[in-house]
A = this chain, B = another copy of it.
Amino acid sequence: MQGYFQLDTVGHGKRERTRAALLDGAMRVIAAKGMENAKISDITETAGLANGTFYNHFEDKDEILREVAYGIAGEVGRTIDEQMVDIGDARTRVVVATSRFIAMAVKEPEWGAVLIGSVEHMPNVRKDIMQYLHADLELGVEQGVFDIRLDQFLLDQIAALVVVSIRLQMNAGRTSELTVQTCENILRLCGLSPAAASRTVKKAQKQLADPLQTV
């Protein structure tokens, strides 16, 4: 079973491969039991390694959690960014980014679990993740399409909406309907009227329809 982190290590030395196995193990454990309840022994067992091996690669539990979080968050951010290079309208960007983000989290529940855990327990990672959103909101203000006061508080509120959506879909099964509603709500927060929000989301969905490989 090749996990996400291990994909980066083909051709690398043993050390890297073991390290990646631990990161992947941690990710699976987080998906299974949540970030709070991940035990070192779960992680090493899942990775097929001995207990003590862990400490050859990580200082302590916090470190691996942080690395997993940054790894996934970075990958998600980069992937979404790539897929949006040619989208210029801020409203569309927000919808596409949000949809993508939710889709990745729900399609790969391991990523979803890590993302949720990160947003809730790791402020730094949360800030990191929301950097992308921040840029798009700024763009929307410049384009005159968002009626907002752009500050950390708004970012946190939007993030909370996304987390709620992911969590519900992870538990109750993926529903594009919920994602649509989430996007509409975010646009409403940004000042769009219900009608405009709905219209924007529908239009954006078309752009999303085509190239949808997430991992």
Contact = CB atoms under 8 A, between A and B. Distances in A.
Nearest to A175: B153
A135 interface: no
Interface residues of A, number: 23
B168 A156 contact: yes
Interface stretch (A62-70, A98-106, A183-191): A183-191
Which 7 pairs of residues, A with B, have the shortest CB-CB distance? A160-B160, A147-B194, A191-B194, A160-B164, A188-B188, A156-B164, A157-B161
A157 B165 CA distance: 8
Contacts of A185: 154, 157, 189
Contacts of A193: 191, 193
Contacts of A189: 185, 188-189
A36 interface: yes
A137 interface: no
A176 interface: no
Nearest to A188: B188
A106 B80 CA distance: 37
Residue among A153, A157, A161, A168 facing the most chain B CB atoms (10 A cut-off): A157
6 contacts: A149-B181, A153-B164, A153-B168, A154-B185, A157-B161, A157-B182
Contacts of A164: 153, 156-157, 160
Nearest to A148: B194
A208 interface: no
Given A149-B181, A153-B164, A160-B160, 10 more contacts: A147-B194, A152-B168, A153-B168, A154-B181, A154-B185, A157-B161, A157-B164, A157-B182, A188-B189, A189-B189
Residue among A149, A161, A165, A168 facing the most chain B CB atoms (10 A cut-off): A161
A121 to B, nearest CB: 10
Interface in A159-215: 160-161, 163-165, 168, 178, 181-182, 185, 188-189, 191, 193-194
